[in-house]
Structure 1
Amino acid sequence: MLRRLLPLLALLLAPASVAAQERVLNVYNWSDYIDPAVVERFTRETGIRVRYDVYDSLETLEGRLSAGRSGYDLIVPTSEPTFARLLRAGALLPLDRARIPNWGNLDPTLMARVAVIDPGNRHGAIYLWGTVGLGIRPDLVRAALPGVALDSLDILMKPENARRLARCGIMVMDSPTDVLPSVLRWLGRDPNGHSDADHRAAEAALRAIRPHVRAIVPSSAILDALATGEACVALTYSGDVIQAATRAREANRGVEVGYVMPREGAQLWFDLMAIPADAPNPEAAHAFINFLLQPDVMAAITNQVRYPNAVPTSRPMVAAAVRDDRNVFPDDAALARTFVAGTPPREAERARTRLWSRFKAGR
């Protein structure tokens, strides 16, 4: 009798096992980039358990996905270059907007800028966004460069300035995708220029300051160095600088950190919520995207990590100190001067990689 019941029991238990597997969401996101209470709330409201892994560089994310069968349901790649490359490779699942009723909360103007690389916004929804600029110790910069204007990449890119600032610590994030377009814009060139002349000009500018650069490291390391006062100038992401400023204030050690959004025009970037084509649980991923696009949820995330979101109706719920900070939410005039980096041709990308390797090596 028991032997005859075993197949029936197996059939009865199998759906429960499958259902249990389907109630797990596997997320891969940047480190220090969400409010943990938001993840807990999602599980509480949906019953979906979240396995949340983090990375500190796009190279790490791409390496994990390039192997195939990563096991992740939701990833948050930056628009350029990673999202664009994954899209070209067919590695992303088109989003089913019928499962994302909160899609309408997204800022159409910002989504239109993303549509340059994701036609029709079919594969990605903006999670958070920001600009590339300088994190500085204003007191040390003013002491080393009396009378300098604190609104330009001149602070770093003029060799005579870099030489005077070297003692207090200069850092550059290890990201040619973000650094080279900013350098080209500072030079008065097309930030999306990929000619040999553009590469030579950018390399010459970087080589001129290289002897004075202490470190070329991931942005997460720059955040820590700014917060502790180990660096006085760093080219990095706006949100990392703003987080560093908050940590410095909380530590109460007399370290003041400020952000410089370059008057020459700052690079605008977007981190996009996307679903890998081989995601084991795309249903849960759609549910999480829809959950995150609620105004109160996005406000909580912005309050925690100090990066702007793309849900305008969340703004009244963002803390005033964050909401009114023009480094977090640039005004229309500042946004009009920003640019979005495009996807370089493959040969230009290889040339850029070689250029960056020479810059890092100092030769």
Structure 2
Amino acid sequence: MNLRHSHLAGLALALLAGTAQAAPTVTIANWSGYIADDTLANFTRQTGIQTTYDLVDSNETTEAKLMTGASGYDLASPSNHFLPRLIKAGAIQELDRAKLPNWHNLDPKLMKVLEASDPGNRYAVPYLWVTVGIGYNEEKIRAIFGNTDVTRSWQLLFDPQNIAKLAQCGVAVIDNSTQMVPITLRVLGLDPASEKPADFAKAEAALRAISPSIRYFHQSKYVSDLANGNICVAVGFSGDVLQAMSTAQQAGNGVKIGFSLPREGTTIAVDTVVIPKNAPHLDSAYAYLNYLLEPKVIADISNAVQYPNGNAAALQYVAPALRENPAVYPPQEVLDSLFPIRTLSPAGMRLNTRLWTRVKSGT
């Protein structure tokens, strides 16, 4: 009798172990600091699916892994301008919208922007979208220029006389050539998507003219430096500057930060979520994608990281301070001045990369 009970108990434990091993999982690749603290835990609580969250530091890294067809990811987060190459290579799957009942929540206007990179919106779900603008220390800008009106134009940066006045208090520029080169081309009155060597030469000359007054180029350091008053101007992502504002307010250090989307226009990039070609847990991938399309879920993410989302139904749940901030959710006339980042050809990418390397190194 005892032996029989022992056998049954052992069988039960084996079954339980097998069940535990078979628990559904999903592996997600995303940018650092780009999710709410409770997003993953709430997903697991709601679905029973365990999550593995892998941080990526660049689109190039994500692209390289997806191109192998063996990334191990169920979901990845490339920016929109990387989609055409991934689609052409067959590195990501066409979405089955029947498995995404929350698809109808998406904003048609943003989907139209995304369609330039993903015709028919067949492969990618928009996550958050970003712009590049000018973050500035209001007190220091007023002390130098008398008011903050100058921040409404890229000439604050691209006029050598203006930026020279800022050199002492510190100017930082995001280390991102796919953003900064198109912006420079637009300021020069050229096509931001140009791949003409002559246009790149003009952009390089404009950047070289102001680089002596730039303290540093960096992907994220400007966030803390702007919040602490260590620099007075940062050209960077909208959400990063808003995070700096929040940090300064919480610290009570007296630093008041403003943010401007210059009137000449600036970039708009949509960070997306895609399913890699050989995603190992396809059902879990769709479950997480559909979860992200829930209005309250994506609104909580926007509230946490200070970036706007592409879910029209989520707007009512976005914090009023964020929703009503024209630098985050711009009015239509500003939206009309934004231009999407375009995918460069291999030759165009080489021109872009070499230009940026020379500007940063001063060679």
What is the CA RMSD across the aligned residues, in angstroms?
2.3
Q: Which residue of 2 aligns with 1:182?
A: 183
The equivalent of 1:56 in structure 2 is 57
What's the CA shift string for 1:34-91, capped at 9, x where partnerless? 11212111100100011112233323433444555222111111112x3333223221
Q: Give the equivalent residue in structure 2 for 1:349.
A: 349
CA contact (8 A) 1:156 1:233 kept: no
Match of 1:97? Answer: 97
Q: Paired residue for 1:303?
A: 303
CA offset at residue 17 of structure 1?
6.7
Per-residue deviation at 1:143?
1.7
* Match runs of 1:253-268 below 5 Å: 253-268=253-268
Give how far 1:13 is off. Answer: 8.4
Task: Give me the whole-angstrom Cα distance separating, in 2, the residues matched to 1:222 and 1:56.
Answer: 16
Structure 2 SS opposite 1:279: coil
- Which residue of structure 1 lines up, in the alignment, with residue 273 of structure 2? 273
Q: Spell out structure 1 runs of 4+ moving beyond 3 A.
A: 11-18, 62-68
Alignment-mate amino acid for residue 155 of structure 1: L
Distance in 2 (alpha carbons) for counterparts of 1:56 and 1:349: 19
CA distance in 2 between counterparts of 1:223 and 1:98 reads: 41
- For 1:157-198, what per-residue CA distance to the aligned partner results, in whole angstroms no more than 9, with x for missing partners? 111111111111111111111111111111111111111221
Distance 2:44 2:322 in 1: 27
The separation in 2 between residues aligned to 1:67 and 1:215, in whole angstroms, is 34
8 Å CA contact 1:145–1:161 kept in 2: the answer is no
Q: Classify the secondary structure of the residue corresponding to 1:265.
A: coil
Name 1:329's counterpart in structure 2: 329
The whole-number CA distance in structure 2 between the counterparts of 1:300 and 1:160 is: 42
**Once the two structures are superposed, what CA deviation does each residue of 1:303-361 show, in whole Å capped at 9, x if it has no partner?**
11111111112111111111111111111111011111222222122111111110111
Does 2:28 correspond to 1:19?
A: no
2:338 aligns with 338
Question: SS at the partner of 1:270?
Answer: strand
Cα offsets for 1:106-144 (capped at 9, x unmatched): 011211111111111111011000211111112212222
Instruction: Tell me the equivalent position of 1:314.
Output: 314
Instruction: For 1:347 and 1:278, locate their aligned partners in 2 and report how far apart those are by CA, in whole Å.
Output: 29
1:73 is matched with 74
Contact 2:84–2:343 (Cα < 8 Å) also in 1:
yes
Give the secondary-structure state (helix, strand or coil) at the position aligned to 2:263. coil
1:35 aligns with 2:36: yes
Q: TM-score if structure 1 supplies the norm length?
A: 0.92
Counterpart in the other structure of 1:164: 165
Long gaps (5+) in structure 1: none
CA distance in 1, matches of 2:198, 2:109: 33
> CA–CA distance in 1 between the matches of 2:343 and 2:253?
42
Separation (CA, whole Å) in 1 of partners of 2:62 and 2:251: 31
Q: Deviations over 1:199-220 (max 9, x none)?
A: 01110110001111111111x2
**Cα distance between partner residues in 1 of 2:32 and 2:180:** 21
Aligned residues: 355
What residue identity is the alignment partner of 1:183? Answer: T
The 2-side partners of 1:155 and 1:268 are apart by 20
Residue 29 of structure 1 and its aligned partner are, at CA, apart by 0.8
Unaligned runs of 5+ in 2: 1-7
Q: CA–CA distance in 1 between the matches of 2:277 and 2:119?
A: 17
Aligned residue for 1:235?
235
1:304 alignment partner AA: A
- Measured at CA, do residues 59 and 142 of structure 1 come closer, stay the same or move farther in structure 2, by a change above 3 Å? farther
Residue type matched to 1:151 in 2?
R
Give the whole-Å Cα distance in 2 for the aligned partners of 1:57 and 1:171: 19
Contact 2:173 / 2:214 at 8 angstroms: preserved in 1? yes
Q: TM-score, normalised by structure 2?
A: 0.92
Is the CA contact 2:27–2:52 (under 8 Å) kept in the aligned structure 1? yes
Q: Give distance in 2, aligned partners of 1:171 and 1:67.
A: 35
**SS of the counterpart of 2:54?**
strand
Contact 1:128-1:271 within 8 A present in 2 as well:
yes
1:217 aligned onto 2:218: yes
Deviation at 1:245, TM superposition (A): 0.8
Q: Structure 1 residues 340 and 282, CA, compared in 2 at 3 Å: closer, same or farther?
A: same
What does residue 156 of structure 2 align with?
Answer: 155
